[in-house]
Amino acid sequence: MKKDYRQLFQPHIINSISGLSLIARVIVDGYLAGLNKSRRVGVGQEFSQYRGYELGDDLRLLDWKMFARSGRYYIKQSEIDTHISVKFIVDASKSMEHAEDGVSKLEYVKVLVASLAHLAQEQGDAIGLYALNNTSITSLQPMVQKQQYKRFLHELIHIKGDGVWPSNTMNFDKFHDKSKKELVFFITDMYEYDSELTALIKSLKTKRNEVAVLQIMGKKELQFNYKGYVVFEDLETGAKVKVDTKEAKSSYLSELDTLMSTTKDMLLSNDIGYQLFMLDEPLGEALQLFLKQRSHLL
């Protein structure tokens, strides 16, 4: 991957379809040059092997000649292209507008999601996008059509950080099909008031899908590299507080470490993937996580 791709991280480039598409292509091609299309054993093309019949298999796939010879039921398998449904759920609350070194969390997320969606499309997967806050909802159902990625980017660049995460997510069920194999990415900074994010994330996990949380944080948020007295503003409520950073640093870092460790342990204990990203970090870990989580569904 080109070392200078970060030069493309400029708002006017990120917030245009052609610019975001270019960044995603550079990132994916740089990390995964020569990636072969994923394949698995299934039903559809050239014959590969037999396996024993399992409850729930399509009876039309039984090989009756093998049954006549052996008295046992076998399924004839073949090599087919593997396609799954990949859904991206973006936290579009106001806290995602926090910026460091000219790049906001939401702009970083747009690059991250565009790159993962580009990789998913290259694999032949259906991609869908949802972004939520208490004032608006973006909803693009997963599809494999050729123009889906362009529609995806169009919706992605128009996401704006505003308000807070919705307190009532009952209607969110229509975005989540628990009966199908899906790979669900939940992208957020994990700022919540009363476990509203963690509760929803846990509800997404089923036996048939894979869920991964990508937590986005700024380096200053994680390391508290501030000097003197600083006025901090809660972007979601507008509340401001003046802080002596030298005095507050130790307790802030301790509480943050406890909170993040607790959140990570909770997610992993519920079989939910987790990855932390800082705004100045490359995106290779996200692509690797995508391939890892995707392989679990095949």
Give the domain extent around 45: 39-81
CATH of the domain at 159: 3.40.50.410
* 284, HSE (Cβ side, Cα atoms, 13 Å): 10
Same domain, 58 and 99: no
The pLDDT, as a whole number, for residue 80 is: 41
H or E element: which one contains 185?
A: strand 182-188
Same domain, 49 and 115: no
Same domain, 65 and 186: no
Same domain, 63 and 173: no
pLDDT mean values, one per 10 residues, the chain (298 residues): 68 92 90 50 46 64 72 61 84 95 95 95 90 92 90 97 82 65 94 89 89 95 94 91 94 96 95 93 86 82
Whether pTM > 0.75 for this model: the answer is: yes
Sign of the four-CA dihedral 38, 148, 115, 276: negative
Same domain, 117 and 130: yes
The pLDDT, as a whole number, for residue 58 is: 61
Same domain, 236 and 255: yes
The pLDDT, as a whole number, for residue 54 is: 66
The pLDDT, as a whole number, for residue 123 is: 82
CA angle 10, 15, 16 (to 5 degrees): 110
Q: If you search the block for the tokens 């936290």, which residue do you land on? A: 91
Same domain, 177 and 53: no
The pLDDT, as a whole number, for residue 293 is: 86
Last residue of a domain, one of 81, 112, 136: 81
Q: How many domains does the chain have?
A: 2
Same domain, 108 and 215: yes
Distance separating alpha carbons of residues 122 and 125, to the nearest angstrom: 7
The pLDDT, as a whole number, for residue 75 is: 67
Last residue of a domain, one of 81, 97, 115: 81
Same domain, 19 and 75: no
Same domain, 178 and 251: yes
Same domain, 68 and 207: no
Last residue of a domain, one of 52, 81, 110: 81
Same domain, 106 and 233: yes
